[in-house]
């Protein structure tokens, strides 16, 4: 059984060298014709931070033809979280007696006063990294006299998982569990990029795991209204090369549509049970994006029935706009308007061990990927 699992979904076949080599030469063959259609250079955006890391780690960026540029999009959850929301996380951590539970990525994101959860812990805050929000629920059950707060950030992949944990907490009757709901939605984020008159994106490599939840339907407007090609793509090196190949062919044909390369996991209607749960626990609302600010209907907050689980309400944490770190280009990088190497801080004042902006802090951030694996 183990061998079967490996053989089907994690076998070396997914990263076969010979196939990757012919994939790259096919991409090199197609790129000039695509570039002729787009006016000299083809810009594709990988929207998901996991794609950013997979592309960087495979080393394929340097092997792609010069006409083709892969831009990192607004798909790194920690990176898109506004400075004001990071400050709210730190305000929660400063409340005496609270246990903060979080995914590891949030630990070193700095608030506007230069502090992060890691330094809050050094000052006595109880901050614990968990693998699953269910671990946080179990902790709340085990320590009924303590308040346990989960730091919920992320996209449609993570929202139903945190929603599932909240439903579990409600079933268990836990009064000492709450979570933040700083969730963002991918399709409205794409619309934000596309409605920018300066937009120069010629194709989207769409996030596989967000799409496993929401399906492919919500992206149709990208191809139909904005005439931009879309391919929902998996995360193995060959998936990514196939995704690029399919995007190039759409550009050349001039017929944009939503294709699904990751059909072993992504169905047209997504995961209906997860969508139902998400709609029950959360409702669509404005969200604050880094470098963009608050935008209507681009995020999720707790619905009325689950409002008592909202940590921000429970502890009356106010929101205040806060400036980005000085000189940090993270916001522009998220919008595909700058590359990490365009930032004057990159690799000098801003490094993984002493990160200025979230794109360097997060293991899914574009700057972290570039500094670790090369641009």
Partner 1 sequence: MARRRVWRENKGNLMCLAVPGRIISMKKGSAEVDFSGIKRAVSLDLVPAAKKGDYVLVHAGFAIQLLDPGEAVKTLELFKGIFSEGPGDAPQAPAAGKP
- DSSP assignment letter at 62: G
Binder among 34, 100, 161, 345 for partner 1 (CB under 8 A): 161
- Does 67 bind partner 1 (CB under 8 A)? Our answer is no
User: What is the C-alpha to C-alpha distance for residues 168 and 162, in angstroms, rounded to an integer?
Assistant: 10
- Total site size for partner 1, rule CB under 8 A: 83
Binder among 204, 261, 325, 346 for partner 1 (CB under 8 A): 261
Binder among 42, 151, 240, 277 for partner 1 (CB under 8 A): 277
User: What is the C-alpha to C-alpha distance for residues 177 and 146, in angstroms, rounded to an integer?
Assistant: 9
Phi and psi based region of residue 239 (left: phi greater than 0; alpha: psi -120 to 50; beta: remaining): alpha
- Does 50 bind partner 1 (CB under 8 A)? Our answer is yes
Our CB check for partner 1 shows the closer of 26 and 126 to be 26
- Does 8 bind partner 1 (CB under 8 A)? Our answer is yes
- Does 234 bind partner 1 (CB under 8 A)? Our answer is yes
- Does 105 bind partner 1 (CB under 8 A)? Our answer is yes
Our CB check for partner 1 shows the closer of 118 and 349 to be 118
Q: Are strands 282-289 and 293-302 parallel, antiparallel or unpaired?
A: antiparallel
User: What is the C-alpha to C-alpha distance for residues 238 and 247, in angstroms, rounded to an integer?
Assistant: 14
**DSSP string of 263-304, one letter each residue:** TTT--TT--HHHHHHHHHHEEEEEEEETTTEEEEEEEEEE-G
Per-residue tokens: 305: 């029935």
- Does 26 bind partner 1 (CB under 8 A)? Our answer is yes
Alpha helices for the chain (secondary structure H): 2-9, 17-38, 49-58, 77-80, 83-93, 117-122, 133-142, 159-171, 186-194, 208-214, 220-224, 237-253, 272-281, 311-314, 330-334, 358-361, 366-373
Our CB check for partner 1 shows the closer of 8 and 175 to be 8
- Does 84 bind partner 1 (CB under 8 A)? Our answer is no
Q: Which helix (H) or strand (E) holds 27?
A: helix 17-38
- Does 2 bind partner 1 (CB under 8 A)? Our answer is yes
Per-residue tokens: 315: 């502890």
Our CB check for partner 1 shows the closer of 176 and 362 to be 362
- Does 280 bind partner 1 (CB under 8 A)? Our answer is no
User: What is the C-alpha to C-alpha distance for residues 271 and 291, in angstroms, rounded to an integer?
Assistant: 31
Q: What SS3 class is residue 239?
A: helix
Q: Which has the closest alpha carbon to 168: 270, 306, 271, 273? A: 306
Determine the interface stretch with partner 1 among 35-43, 64-72, 86-94, 213-221 (rule: CB under 8 A): 213-221
- DSSP assignment letter at 216: S
Binder among 86, 258, 301, 356 for partner 1 (CB under 8 A): 258
- Does 213 bind partner 1 (CB under 8 A)? Our answer is yes
Our CB check for partner 1 shows the closer of 85 and 94 to be 85
Determine the interface stretch with partner 1 among 53-61, 65-73, 192-200, 289-297 (rule: CB under 8 A): 53-61
Nearest distance from C-beta of residue 233 to partner 1, angstroms: 10
Nearest distance from C-beta of residue 55 to partner 1, angstroms: 11
Cβ 279 vs Cβ 266: under 8 Å:
no
Binder among 65, 74, 111, 207 for partner 1 (CB under 8 A): 207
Our CB check for partner 1 shows the closer of 121 and 349 to be 121
User: What is the C-alpha to C-alpha distance for residues 74 and 193, in angstroms, rounded to an integer?
Assistant: 9
Determine the interface stretch with partner 1 among 2-10, 93-101, 140-148, 288-296 (rule: CB under 8 A): 2-10
Distances (CA, A) of 184 to 109, 123, 288, 294, 364: 18, 30, 9, 11, 16
- Does 29 bind partner 1 (CB under 8 A)? Our answer is yes
User: What is the C-alpha to C-alpha distance for residues 333 and 80, in angstroms, rounded to an integer?
Assistant: 11
Per-residue tokens: 139: 């902790």
Footprint of partner 1 on residues 292-321 (CB under 8 A)? none
Binder among 91, 95, 174, 265 for partner 1 (CB under 8 A): 265
Our CB check for partner 1 shows the closer of 9 and 344 to be 9
Binder among 287, 339, 364, 371 for partner 1 (CB under 8 A): 364
Determine the interface stretch with partner 1 among 37-45, 51-59, 93-101, 112-120 (rule: CB under 8 A): 51-59
């Amino acid at each position: 059984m183990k061998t079967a699992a490996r053989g089907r979904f994690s076998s070396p076949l997914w990263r076969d060298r010979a196939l990757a080599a012919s994939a790259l030469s096919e991409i090199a063959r197609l790129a000039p014709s695509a570039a002729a259609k787009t006016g000299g250079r083809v810009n594709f955006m990988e929207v998901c931070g996991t794609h950013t890391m997979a592309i960087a780690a495979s080393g394929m960026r340097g092997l792609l033809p010069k006409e083709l540029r892969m831009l990192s999009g607004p798909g790194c959850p920690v990176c898109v979280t506004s400075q004001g929301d990071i400050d709210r996380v730190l305000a929660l951590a400063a409340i005496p007696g609270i246990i903060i539970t979080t995914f590891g990525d949030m630990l070193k994101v700095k608030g506007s006063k230069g502090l992060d959860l890691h330094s809050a812990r050094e000052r006595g805050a109880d901050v614990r990294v968990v693998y699953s929000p269910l671990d946080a629920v179990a902790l709340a059950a085990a320590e009924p006299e303590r308040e346990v707060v989960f730091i919920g950030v992320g996209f449609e992949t993570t929202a139903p998982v945190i929603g599932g944990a909240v439903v579990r907490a409600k079933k268990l009757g836990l009064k000492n569990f709450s979570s933040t709901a700083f969730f963002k939605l991918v399709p409205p984020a794409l619309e934000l990029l596309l409605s920018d008159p300066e937009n120069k994106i010629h194709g989207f490599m769409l996030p596989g795991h967000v799409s496993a939840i929401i399906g492919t339907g919500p992206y149709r407007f990208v191809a139909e209204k904005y005439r931009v090609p879309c391919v929902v793509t998996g995360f193995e090196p060959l998936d990514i090369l196939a995704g690029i190949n399919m995007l190039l062919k759409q550009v050349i044909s001039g017929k944009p549509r939503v294709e699904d390369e990751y059909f072993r996991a992504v169905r047209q209607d997504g995961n209906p049970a997860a969508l139902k749960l998400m709609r029950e626990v959360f409702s669509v609302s404005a969200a604050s994006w880094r470098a963009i600010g608050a935008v209507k209907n681009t995020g999720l907050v707790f619905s009325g029935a689950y409002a008592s689980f909202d940590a921000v309400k429970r502890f009356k944490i106010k929101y205040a706009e806060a400036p980005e770190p000085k000189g940090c280009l993270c916001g522009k990088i998220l919008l595909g308007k700058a590359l990490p190497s365009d930032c004057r801080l990159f690799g000098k004042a801003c490094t993984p061990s002493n990160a200025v902006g979230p794109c360097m802090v997060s293991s899914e951030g574009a700057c972290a990927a570039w500094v670790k694996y090369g641009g």
